[in-house]
A and B are shown apart, each in its own frame.
Chain A
């Protein structure tokens, strides 16, 4: 398997502020990571694919200027929610392929964001 961590696990912020969420692969290198968002009682929605050393690929309908993704190293991808608003409150989860190939994705524990 492979371990993916996220930090912070939860965050509360005021409307208009920016929040950075980190996703780390702890025991392997991840050239590709994925960011998902999940609203209560709903499924995970893929937001973007984070590629090490290049620009992220965003899914249709996801604002790339609002959700900034940086994948500066092989073990770290960050998602920054800029000028957060209450409607951005959600559960954000990242995932990465393990070292066994590009089949199984390993998920982080998630970050719960509450924007007041």
Chain B
């Protein structure tokens, strides 16, 4: 399967707490991307991490990548109610000439309670 599998499927936390979501995949990747989807909206690109990178930061987001375990994690620090959304990871297989298409898993549904 080319898709990433997010875990947990659902996560409920209080505002101010940190949220950690995990992604596992099965074949070698060129990069891995995380996206956010608010209810009824399109996807917003959050961060891309390449296969030769281990960690990347963007604001309150921290992404790690462990290619030996074929897994990635997304950490949102000091969560806010506005972070409530579904989060998807998307492994990128461009180097295998997949045409750049992304296959999405079921996502993690994050609920941040005020």
Interface residues of A (CB under 8 A from B): 1, 4, 6, 32, 34, 36, 42-46, 49, 57, 91, 93, 95, 97, 102-110, 112
Contacts and interface: CB of A to CB of B under 8 A. Distances in A.
Interface in B77-114: 88, 90, 92, 94, 99-107
Interface stretch (B16-24, B40-48, B57-65): B40-48
B99 to A, nearest CB: 6
Interface residues of B, number: 23
Contacts of B41: 109-110
Nearest to A109: B42
11 contacts: A1-B45, A46-B103, A93-B43, A103-B31, A103-B33, A103-B92, A105-B45, A105-B100, A106-B45, A108-B42, A112-B40
A108 B106 CA distance: 19
Chain A contact residues, majority secondary structure: strand
B101 A49 contact: yes
A46 B102 contact: yes
A105 B104 CA distance: 13
A45 B104 CA distance: 7
Contacts of B101: 34, 46, 49
Interface in B23-46: 31, 33, 35, 40-45
Contacts of A57: 99
Contacts of A110: 40-42
B103 A93 contact: no
Nearest to A91: B40
A22 to B, nearest CB: 14
What are the 7 A-B residue pairs with the smallest beta carbon separation, nearest first?
A107-B43, A107-B42, A109-B42, A102-B100, A44-B104, A110-B42, A43-B104
